[in-house]
Amino acid sequence: MNKKSSRLFAEARKSVLILPSMVLLLIFFVMPILLTVYYSFTNLALSGENAKQLKFIGLSNYVSMFKDRTVRISIVNTLVFLLGSLIGQQVLGFLIALNMRNRNRIFRGIVGPVFLAGWIMPEVVVALCCSTFFGDEGTLNQIFSFFHLPTVEFLFAIPMATVILANIWHGTAFSMMNFQSALDGVPADIEEAAKVDGAGPFQTMLRIILPCIKNTIATNTMLNTLSTLGVFGLIYMMTGGGPGTKTLTLPIFMYRQAFISQQLGYGTAISMILLVIGIVLSVFYTRVMRKD
C-alpha cells in the first residue's frame, strides 16, 4: 500500500513538473497550428468586407487552390529548390568534411571559414551578399568582364540556379559539421583492415565509410529538407519570387496571397500544402532509416 502510494506520488510529481512546459507548448505551438488549420477554412482577409466578418467557407479555399495554376508552379519550384539545395549542400558538405579529415591545412584554413561564414550570417545578410555578388554589375560579372567574357544577368537569366547557389552557401556548413563528426566516429581499425585486405580508396568509401555514416546522412537530409522548405527571406530578398513565377516557392506565394493580395485565408490554405509536403517527406525518411 505504502509502495503504491509513493509511486502515485512520484507520478503526480512528474506530471506537475511537466505541466508548465506542456502549457507553454499548447499556447505557443499547438494552438497556432490548430488556428492556422481553422483559418484555412475561412474567408479571413486583411482588408475589405471580409475583414469585418469572419466566415466559415468550407473547402472553397482548397477548391480554388487546386484550380490555381500558380499553386502547381510553386509546388514544382519548391521541389526544384529543395532538391538542388539538398544535393548541393550534402555533396559539398561531405566532400569538404572528407578533405578536412585528411588534414590538408591550407584547405582547412580557407574553405572551412568561407562556408562557416555563409552559415553564421543571418539570412538577410546572405541574401544581400549574394545579390551584390550575382548582380548585373556585381563581383562575378566584373570578374567576367575583366577576362572579356560576356556578362550574365544571373538573377534574371538563371534565377532558380542562383538562389539555389545562395542557399547552398548558406547551408553547406551545417552538413559539413554533421559529416565531420560522423566521419570522426568511423573506427580507424575497420578502415585499416579494409586496406590490408586490398580495398582501394573507392571501395573503402563505398563499403566502409558510407555504411558507417548512413544514419547521419538520413538525419541530415531530413533536417535540411525541413529547413529548406521554410526558406523565405533569402528568395524574397534576392528575386521576390520573380521574374514572373520563376522562383516563386510556396512560402513566397503564401506571403503574396496573404499579405499583398490581402487574402489571409487563402494564404493559410497554401501553407497547409507546405505542411503536407514536410510531413510526407519526413515519414519517407524515417521509413528509409528504419529499413536497416
Partner 1 sequence: MKKMKKVAAAVLASTMVLSLAACQGSGAKTEATAQGKTEAGSGETGKTAETPGTGGKTKISITFRDGGSDALKNWFEHAYETYDKKDSIELDIAPITASEGDYFAKVALALQSADTAPDIVCEDTFQLPSDVAAGYLTDLSGYLKDYKEWNDGTFYGPLVDGVTYSDGSVYGIPYCTDTRGLWYNKDIFKAAGLDTEWQPKTWQEILDTCKVIKEKCPDVVPFWCNSGVASGEATSMQTYEMLLYGTGEQLLDENDKWIASSENILKSLNFINTIYKDGYGPSLSKVLNGEAGNIASREYLPGGKLAISLDGYWMTGNYKETGSAPWPEYKDKLGIAAMPTSEGQKPGSITMSGGWALSIPQLSDQKDASMDFIKHCMSYDIYLDTIIAQGNIATRTDIAADPTYASQPFMEKCTGFLSGAFYRPRNSQYSTVTTHIQTMVESVVSGTSPEDAMAQYKSDVTNSVGADNTVTK
**Which residues contribute to the site for partner 1 (CB under 8 A)?**
29, 32-33, 36, 45-52, 64, 67-70, 135-136, 153, 155-156, 222, 226-227, 229-233, 240-246, 251, 254-256, 258-263, 266-267, 271, 274-275, 278-279, 281-283, 285-286, 289-290
Q: How far is CA 60 from CA 37, 47, 135, 265, 276, in A?
A: 14, 19, 41, 10, 18
What is the nearest approach in angstroms of partner 1 to the Cβ of residue 169?
19
Q: Are 288 and 218 in contact (CB under 8 A)?
A: yes
What is the nearest approach in angstroms of partner 1 to the Cβ of residue 62?
12
Name the nearest CA neighbour of 237 among 116, 123, 74, 106: 123
Assigned C-alpha cell, 271: 501553407
Residue 183 or 278 with smaller CB distance to partner 1: 278
C-alpha to C-alpha distance for 124 and 193, rounded to whole angstroms: 48
Residue 99 or 151 with smaller CB distance to partner 1: 151
What is the nearest approach in angstroms of partner 1 to the Cβ of residue 238?
12
Residue 41 or 112 with smaller CB distance to partner 1: 41
What is the nearest approach in angstroms of partner 1 to the Cβ of residue 10?
23
What is the nearest approach in angstroms of partner 1 to the Cβ of residue 243?
4
What is the nearest approach in angstroms of partner 1 to the Cβ of residue 123?
9
Q: Are 63 and 292 in contact (CB under 8 A)?
A: no
Residue 43 or 204 with smaller CB distance to partner 1: 43
Residue 48 or 200 with smaller CB distance to partner 1: 48
C-alpha to C-alpha distance for 37 and 56, rounded to whole angstroms: 12
Residue 100 or 126 with smaller CB distance to partner 1: 126
Q: Are 246 and 160 in contact (CB under 8 A)?
A: yes
C-alpha to C-alpha distance for 191 and 247, rounded to whole angstroms: 44
Name the nearest CA neighbour of 232 among 126, 161, 134: 126
* 292 Cβ contact list (under 8 Å, min separation 6): 214
